[in-house]
A and B are shown apart, each in its own frame.
Chain A
Amino acid sequence: MRAWVEKQRNMVDFTLSALLRRKGKNVSLLAVYTGVVFVLGSVMFFTEGMRREAHLILHGAPEIIVQKMVAGRHDLIPTAYMEKIRQIKGVQSVKERLWGYYYDPVVGANYTLLVPDDFKLGEGNIAIGKGISRKRLAYEGDILSFRGYTGDPLTFQIGEIFSAESELISADLVTVSEEDFRGMFAMTKEVATDLVVKVRNPKELATIATKIVQLLPDTRPILRDEILRTYDAVFSWRSSLMLVILLGAVFSFIILAWDKATGMSAEEKREIGILKAVGWETSDVLLMRFWEGVVVSASAFMLGVLLAYGHVFFASAMLFEPVLKGWSVLYPEFKITPFIAFNQVAALFFLTVIPYTVATIVPSWRTATIDPDSVMRL
């Protein structure tokens, strides 16, 4: 056993010396390989973290939301629909939801305006998200001006700023009183943005949603489960963002492995020829190439995973920020909760380390089995 261990150590010594002889090439190879693992790892950590976080946060979302559709578009819903929905057996409560968007030309940002059930700040006051506060340099007690539907300015005093911890859901949020909201957008009491339905038995959600559509064919119910599944889809590996990044990384990795698998340089072939001429067995050559694959891929994997972890959970996935921000002016400042699973890291390992190690051994098998004299003459 001791002799076997010593042989492996000697082999690693030899392999590292051989790799260091071609320092420039191998360091760049390591850098590219680490970069591929880093990108794949970052995507994996980010999507899993966001997916789990969205699930935990949004499990409190309304059970059923009922929207009115006009010509395929979401429209204001008559509050008279509430009474009709209440008649459906199993419905516990129905309430209106007033919310909408406001484009602020001062900073070029879109806000989400919402009327809470129980707005304690009263008319003329608002509560705003940390993102708006940061962008408008507006703090508690300050006055913010909005434009009403007539174009006249409407001023509100900031009564509260939502906590920084809630930025992921409140960065662009403005809560106002019902009177102010209706006054701002000229919405009569007869309409609401949509309706929130609560049911007695959660198992009946789908049945009640079907009954709502039967009773009011111009409506569309959205179930909480669908909201959660939307975020599952957004942060799944098949989502557009992830596919684009994954494809880029996977193709660069394929090129890397292909380059390795399809050929060895004349210098590498000559080296194998010399080793065989001085008495190395084919199995020794393969062992050396195996260690070469392990040294490069294991180092790249370790470095890549650690860098990806730091990037996503310590630097808030800053490289993905421009992608998620797009043209948005408001972007939440948040730290992703690190939800990582062992099988994720294991999958990344099997996707990157194993194929590369195999790709390193295959061409050397071909070289190691031919006559050393002919290899050295290359």
Chain B
Amino acid sequence: MEKEQFYYDNKIVKMFLWATILWGVVGMLVGLLVALLFVFPGLLEFAGADNAISWLSFGRLRPLHTNAVIFAFVGNGIFLGVYYSTQRLLKARMFNDVLSRIHFWGWQAIIVAAAITLPLGLTSSKEYAELEWPIDIAVVLIWVVFGINLIGTILKRRQRHIYVAIWFYIATLVTIAVLYIFNNLEMPVTAFKSYSVYSGVQDALVQWWYGHNAVAFFLTTPILGLMYYFVPKVANRPVYSYRLSIIHFWTLIFLYIWAGPHHLLYTALPEWAQNLGTVFSIMLIFPSWGGMINGLLTLRGAWDKVRENPVLKFFVVAITGYGMATFEGPMLSFKNLNAIGHYTDWIVGHVHIGALAWNGFMIAGIVYWLAEKLWKTELYSRKLANTHFWLGTLGILFYAIPLYVAGFTQAFMWKQFNPDGTLVYGNFLETVTQVLPMYAMRAIGGTLYLTGFILLAINVIKTAKAGSAVEDELAEAAALKKISGKRVAGEGFHTWLERKTVLFTILTTVAILIGGLVEIVPLILVKSNIPTIESVKPYTPLELEGRDIYIREGCNNCHSQMIRPFRSEVERYGEYSKAGEFVYDFPFLWGSRRTGPDVHRIGGKYNDNWHFNHMLDPRSTSPGSIMPRYSWLIKNDLNASDVEKKMEGLVGLGVPYSEEEIAGAKQQLLAQAKQIEENLRQDPEFVKNYGSSNMQNKEIVALIAYLQRLGTDIKAGQTALK
């Protein structure tokens, strides 16, 4: 067979490598910043306590951190590894250089857009899908470019057999596309504001179907593909069991797609959906641990290399982290353990084992190894890489262990009763101040990890300077002999299937879609899943505006709106949350973490003045609170110019606003705002300090209106029944 000569595109790999390092530093820096805000809530009040800076508040920075780390750091790290390994596994240059460049620059532009819009409060509030609709569309377009480039390369490959790593890339490509589109179906109302097309329970299910699979198919499957390429390459020995890798792949993609509802155990999600999620989550331990064992055993007989080679050290800790996280995941899906772990810092510790160890260390190892490959030289300093390894490992431990302690402390304090049946820690704040030392240790862990990563940056920059880059690397391979699409005599079925890339992609898509459709479609379309509660009414125009402020400020990052049917929660917060209460919640705002208390039944619990003072200075009403100040809410005028548009948009989604209600929206809004100002003026302190200001026009009034409405509809219904 005649051999062909061709060039691998190393330039694009290098571009993604630099982007990975840059966004890694940025994402981790923001992470450290938000970790410090737990310990020093006033850290970023540069302009004085009464002039808090809105775009530096926790609720807006937290989504910036998660998006930067997941999509910017790990995202670029995935593309880095995919672009390098795909070309070599398929013995072909990437399908199209222009597409590669569009993919790279498009992805960076999206990251920059996210870094601007998220601090501005332009968010859809759905976790890891916070970006507003124009950016969502850009993400889909760039993802399609990536898809064409990947599939195109597969089609023009010179290696008939498709190595297991490529399958993982294909599964990532297809599944993320499907999930991202489904979860981001939105009704745009203005250029940067939209409402999720699903509400309440349905929105929650779609969100966590996506949210869990963002973990599964963005932070796991592509990294597993990278593991199956880079671990054997670096160790220079074949994967422990290629057969196991095939089983790993198929079982993983079949099981992962069903696991999402374990994020919603004990919530208002129907019981059958919760149990479905639990069962599949527990089964997931088998493929996950199969993969972990396969990765670690690849190093059998090569452990002496691990001692010598920092890259393998990173890989070993990374794969071990994968094993730990995928052990914890199924455990946390058991309902009785979930009852303890949910809403606590245990979950934050759990995801950071995945992020810092599995994702961060895999990528660090790959970056070090590729630095030598790309610049054709030795690494600037192996010692520095070893230092990074130890700083990073210590950082992970210092991060995770305190948060596990914090998580259990919170759970047990929340649930502890006195003999007379009252809560031991009736004041939620006690459970916050108790774990502040743990938050301080977590920040130390983060500092260690970030310091290690900065050493990586220095090391790679120095290596690049010393070496000489080969932009286009010459390679040689025989062209693929045309063979019939049918199975060749003696060819196994899977071998044949692997040759049929397009067919394979379609089958993978189908496998994934089945999981998604069967789980979600009935809930969306069969209304009987949600017992309707007659007293639940749509939000008033002012409350709607207030709710949008709640979303803008990211309140749901720290406050849940979902009281689980436990004695301890009913005692603390009030009646447990019912599915029917959320039918007009576009999007749902259940939250996933209780840094502060649940707010679903906060309506009517305090008077308007309490909320006013609390927003202005949380410490004044709740000494020791770590909530940020929201002083801009009493300065900013409420912009309600789009309220009719918003209501019309919601009508399109099924909210029963009448035409008269929409026409009179502004009037009604003003009337309700006036009433709240009147309530506020009952307090002489308020009159003394703010008597001259026209508070009814300010944003705070809308937020108070929304908070006072929260969870009250059901009470109105109960009073009516009496």
* Chains A and B belong together in one complex: no
Which A residues fall within an 8 A CB radius of B? Answer: none
Which B residues fall within an 8 A CB radius of A? Answer: none
